[in-house]
Amino acid sequence: MVREYQEIFLEVAVRKGLVTTAVAEECRAAARRVGGNIVRFLRQHQYLTHEAAEEIRRDIERSGVRLRVGGYELLGRIGHGSTGTVYRARQMSLGRLVAVKLLAADLATDKRFLVRFYREAQLAARLAHPNVVQVYDVGEAQGVYYLAMEYVPGESLARRLARTHHLPPAEVVHIGKGMARALQHAETAGIVHRDIKPGNILLGQDGAVKLADLGLAKQVTLDDLTGARERRAVGTPSYISPEQAAGRQDADTRSDIYSLGATLYHAATGQPPFLAATTAELLQLHLEARPLPACQRNPAVPRWLSDIIDRMLAKSLQERYQCPAQVLAALEKEEPS
């Protein structure tokens, strides 16, 4: 029997003594009356802490109970991030394996984020390319917002690097070419990813390289470096472009090229271009510093590849490659035999 995720969540919360049966009934009544996310209801009314909610999720995953969200049966968790949790799932109507991302309950309360979530998911769903994870469906079931995507057997580049530290130059080039093709396709659709990083690059068991979360980059609020005000920056600090670090909202495909350069630098050398104790220091480095050339950090990196990565990491937009096609051409021209 496949059961709805929210109902089993509530049952586990009661069984563990984290909420009372009276509170559980209040949640069910509210869901019947106005709809909505039971987890969010518990959090908003301070019946459940974030830590307790995570404890319940872990218990559910260990229990082996077959859970359903909309028309998808959740089979096992693939990954977890600030915007939600991704599961391997079965689309029940077609019997195919997919990846389903459940949006974090906290984000589901942000109406502006939900509008953007739907808009950009619908845009990404129109893209079809071998190097892009295909988006199949977006929707809401009993207050749980989800995104269904192509399932890619394999692992993320982040997990690969956690195991191997760095990659051989030929594999770095293979990943770089795949991502350049993906960004070239996105550029034709007017999409800027804004969060290229190892965690968003999937490496298939068949050698495929695919870009995930296209157009769905998370937003991170960062304190202004002066401490005088707060501003918004989009991206992940270790791989963020200087213009994104500065909080500019006019990022274009050249910003994605910078972030891809930072990702390839990590893959080639075993670490991102910059390391710092705080986010503010890291952003300052992206704004002002030049990283040690990849070939100096790892002598196994050929000079030509180091030079390509270095140009991708140029501070000035005008000094970088101007489009993904130029990155692809550079990598193909110098590709090792």
The hierarchical CATH code for the domain 3-150 is 3.30.200.20
- pLDDT tens string 227-270: 333 344 456 899 999 999 998 877 899 999 999 999 999 999 99
Angle at CA of residue 291, ends 285 and 297, nearest 5°: 140
User: Does the pLDDT of residue 205 top 70, yes or no?
Assistant: yes
What is the average pLDDT across 292-316?
97
User: Does the pLDDT of residue 175 top 50, yes or no?
Assistant: yes
SS3 content of the chain, % helix, strand, coil (to 5): 45, 20, 35
For the full predicted model, state whether its pTM sits above 0.75. Answer: yes
What is the average pLDDT across 303-325?
96
Mean pLDDT over all residues of the chain?
Answer: 85
- pLDDT tens string 22-31: 888 888 787 7
307 given a catalytic annotation: no
Query: Which pLDDT score, from 0 to 100, does residue 23 have?
Result: 86
Q: Which residue has the higher pLDDT, 141 or 173?
A: 173
What is the average pLDDT across 68-87?
84
Q: Choose, from 106, 110, 137, 195, the residue flagged as catalytic.
A: 195
Name the residue ranges covered by the structural domains of the chain: 3-150, 154-333
Query: Which pLDDT score, from 0 to 100, does residue 218 have?
Result: 40
Query: Which pLDDT score, from 0 to 100, does residue 234 have?
Result: 57
The hierarchical CATH code for the domain 154-333 is 1.10.510.10
User: Does the pLDDT of residue 225 top 50, yes or no?
Assistant: no
Cα of 85 vs its chain's centroid, Å: 10
